[in-house]
Amino acid sequence: MKFTFMADPKNKKAMHALAACAKRYGQTDLASSDVVIVLGGDGTLLKVLQSLLNYQTPVLGMNLGHVGYFLSNYSLDDLPDRVVQAEKRQVTPLKIAARIGAGKPMKQYAFNEFSFSRVTPQAARLGVAVKDQYGSIIKREVFGDGLIVATPMGTSGYYASANGIPVDPDHDAIALQSICAKKGFSAIVSPDSQVNVEVQEREKRPVCIDRDGQDRIADVRSATIKQANNKSITLLWERNRGLSR
């Protein structure tokens, strides 16, 4: 079995573990790898998943960070057997098509969530319309700190801290949760749904979008979010190891 080990270069503990793993099992280039092993925390896992959007290589994470909801305990032993015995979970990112600034389009992907947030002390005013595969439409106005649009995988993070409705990681859905809004809004919708968000009073109430808590998109005008089914990645998960829900 050929492994590619990845770690955050700023995490000394993870880099020491990478060196030990590569010495024991070898380090293979990504194009020839059977499995990618991520050494670090949740943030490192998300960054690696982003880098693998155009690959079909399964991923196993080993926790050398702080929480590690979808990572297993770190151990140097029996890695090939652990990979074979691990459960396979398809994780599908959300794709956003947004217009920013003077109307410039951009596209990005998120495995946890896209969060819309106010930039100034002024509350954000967002027009939200969710259309499902049958043509039914949910319309809401969110007036407050913002809105989170999450994958099931992402509902254990920022979404949960905003009191979002829990979603089992094995359930295929898109989850929405307002953030400190005048009228709270929560919804669990089908994975075939399309979420449209319009930033209202943009000059007075500017809004940014954070992707997976790492990358920020400024000066947002509008956005369309849906599931990116052609970008799914197989996450190897050990039920009795680590801190997964």
Tallying the residues shown for the chain, one arrives at 245
Would you say 149 and 238 are in contact if contact means Cβ atoms under 8 Å apart? no
What whole-number distance in Å separates Cα of residue 8 and Cα of residue 4?
Answer: 14
The tally of CA atoms less than 13 A away on the side-chain side of residue 107 is 6
* pLDDT score, position 134: 76
Span 145-186, pLDDT tens digits: 999 999 999 998 889 999 999 898 888 999 999 999 999 999
CATH 3.40.50.10330 domain position(s) in the chain: 3-92+233-237
Q: How far apart are the first and last CA of the chain?
A: 29
* pLDDT score, position 45: 93
Span 87-116, pLDDT tens digits: 999 999 999 999 998 777 889 999 999 999
Is 77 among the residues known to form the active site?
no
3-92+233-237: CATH topology is Rossmann fold (3.40.50)
pTM for this one?
Answer: 0.90
Is the Cα dihedral 140, 146, 151, 153 positive or negative? negative
Q: 69-73, 159-163, 177-181, 209-213 — which is least confidently predicted?
A: 69-73
- Tell me the average pLDDT across 62-83: 86
User: From the candidates 8, 29, 34, 42, which is the catalytic residue?
Assistant: 42
* Long-range contacts of the stretch 185-192 (C-beta < 8 A, 24+): 185/128, 185/140, 185/142, 185/147, 187/130, 187/138, 189/130, 189/132, 189/138, 190/132, 190/133, 191/92, 191/227, 191/229, 192/132, 192/133, 192/227
CATH 2.60.200.30 domain position(s) in the chain: 94-227
State the DSSP string of 102-128. Answer: TTEEEEEEESSEEEEEESSSSPEEEEE
CATH of 94-227 given 1.20.1250.20, 2.60.40.10, 3.30.930.10, 2.60.200.30: 2.60.200.30
Query: What's the pLDDT band for 67 if we cut at 50, 70, 90?
Result: low
